[in-house]
Amino acid sequence: MFVTNQIYAIDHHHGQASRTILSGYPTIRGATMREKSDYYLKNLSWIHESLIREPRGHRNMLGAILTEPVSEDAAFGIIFNHAFGVFDSCGDSTFAAAAALVETGLVPAVEPVTRFTLDTVLGPIAISVDVKDGVVNMVRFENVPSYEVGCVKLDVPDLGEVNLDIGFGGQYHGFVDADALGLKVNRNNESDLVAAALKIWANGGKEPGIKDPENGRSIVLNLVSFISRNDTKNSYNVGHVYPPGRMGRTPGGTGTCALMGLLAARGEYDPSETFAMKSVLGLEFVGTGVPVQMPNGSKAIRPTLGAKSYMMGIHQFVIDPADPFKHGFVLEG
């Protein structure tokens, strides 16, 4: 059993742990990445359930699983995982997976910069990896177009009127001025930030009744993101909270891009300048952007972000069919 039932994965972190699942699972079928993602959820979700959840993972772990590419120039396709399912986009796991591909030789390293493309549900993303003396020093990815979605005002018990500024950077983020609510964005204030986010979700934040200007569909908010300005130009602190009530460890790839796109649309950020976002752990993502025109004529930017992920371990997992928790569990509380 154990000889034939092996799944290989590699773990990285940059504050946020992400597990890239490399091989040892059935073919993920589909002509597009959306079809592959749907097929995966219907037929193979046991993979991330087994490897991302406890006891092999934990409830805050992220992950990615490799697929065959769907575009001619891409090295691989990638589906982003979390304990309960999949994301269309995830900056944290992009950084980790890109590092894993180069460090394992699945993408041959070229010094000083290794360049390749990954297919995602939202389209191909360009990757560049700085390599020196065989060591990955920095990963950068060019994200999907990021833009302002809109703003809603919510009446939230205990918080009062909350302005929710919504941006898209691969996921929908609702940005809240933490200072306006008297909240501090730091690691010691996690419980207050999570409690505030849960109240915002419960009082209109989850489905704020606003449509994406690009596709016309009503949005569902993926994260509530509390921000505060730093004294340095184009620099913010952020605390991302995602369902069912967890605090992000990093500045968030999609969140950083969403805020860049939102502020650029309002004329508050020049995308040619460096933008910096710091997490509750003090970790920083930096990037720039270039203006792009969306198919419907609206304005957006295409951000490029960089970070370094640190390898933590290489795994050869087995799944014992007699194990009562072979497909993992999540213990809340």
Q: Which sequence positions are flagged as catalytic? A: 90
Sign of the CA dihedral running 316, 13, 194, 89: negative
Torsion angle of the four alpha carbons 207, 213, 214, 220, in this order, in degrees rounded to the nearest 10: -10
- Burial (Cβ within 10 Å: 0-12, 13-18, ≥19) of residue 299: middle
- Nearest 5°: the CA angle 32, 73, 299 is 75
Looking up tokens 């065959």 gives 68
Helix (H, G, I), strand (E, B) or coil at 173: strand
The kind and range of the H/E element at 37 are helix 33-43
Interstrand relation of 113-120 and 76-82 (parallel, antiparallel or unpaired): parallel
